Amino acid sequence: MIARLQTLGIVLILLAVASIPTSIGYSTWSERQRMRDEWTAAGPACPVVASPSPANRGAKPPPPFVYKGVGFAYQIGDVNCVAAPEKGLFNSRTYPICQFDAPAAIAVTAGGRTVLFEPGVGHGATVAVREGHVSCVVDKGARFYGPKVGRELMDAKARSATRRRPRTRAGRCA
């Protein structure tokens, strides 16, 4: 009886030790999946132009910057970038995604080629560079909270705007 209990105890300890790499692997996979979902943007493609229109030129644009070997320059607003993980369970490669809250115009230099996007003033944009291919999507704009929080704030604002306000009589406060 005691020998069986000792064997059962040893087996339980071995199972607990063996479950540690599995839980770490799952947590890493779910974090990568969450980041990929959070930074995925949907919307119309940003217009590509030869040079920014005078209406989209900022008076004092922020200085250009390089992130993960890709050059970015924009006219107005703020930017937030992340190294998003590629798809695949054992794939450790990443690619840059930058979200601009109201850039007016964005110049992206990757692989010796510069592309100029013009989402317009007041429109957010998400730029991704995968394997040398530059893509830009016009979106709601994160307003420098980060993409997920920005979307949640914008959605909450839209929901509150669609709610009916209570009727009040003239001269009374609700």
Residue 166: pLDDT over 60 = no
Contact between 129 and 70 under an 8 Å Cβ cutoff? The reply is: yes
45-97: pLDDT as tens digits: 889 988 877 777 777 788 889 999 999 998 888 889 988 888 776 777 888 99
- Tens digit of pLDDT for each residue in 130-154? 888 899 999 865 554 555 555 666 6
The residues, ordered by sequence, that sit 6+ positions from 170 with a Cβ below 8 Å of its Cβ are: none
Tens digits of per-residue pLDDT, 110-126? 988 999 999 887 888 99
Helix, strand, coil shares of the chain as percentages rounded to 5?
A: 30, 30, 35
**What is the C-alpha separation between 109 and 70, in angstroms, rounded?**
6
- 94-114 pLDDT, tens per residue? 889 999 888 888 999 998 899
In sequence order, the 6+-apart residues with CB closer than 8 A to the CB of 37 are none
Angle at 154 between CA 151 and CA 159, to 5 degrees: 120
pLDDT at 102: 82
Model's pTM, two decimal places?
Answer: 0.65
What pairs with residue 113 in β-bridges? Answer: 110
- For the segment 38-50, the average pLDDT, to the nearest whole number, is 84
Q: What is the pLDDT of residue 150?
A: 57
> For residues 83 and 72, what is the distance between their CA atoms, to the nearest angstrom?
14
Distance CA(20)–CA(152), nearest Å, equals 34
**Alpha carbons 44 and 27: distance in angstroms, whole number:** 33
Task: Give me the pLDDT at residue 162, please.
Answer: 62
Going from N- to C-terminal start, the domains of the chain cover: 39-162
Task: Please tell me the predicted confidence (pLDDT) of residue 91.
Answer: 75
Closest CA to 139 of 72, 43, 16, 52: 43
For residue 11, give both structure tokens: 């087996």
Decide: residue 139, CB within 10 A, 0-12 exposed, 13-18 middle, 19+ buried: buried
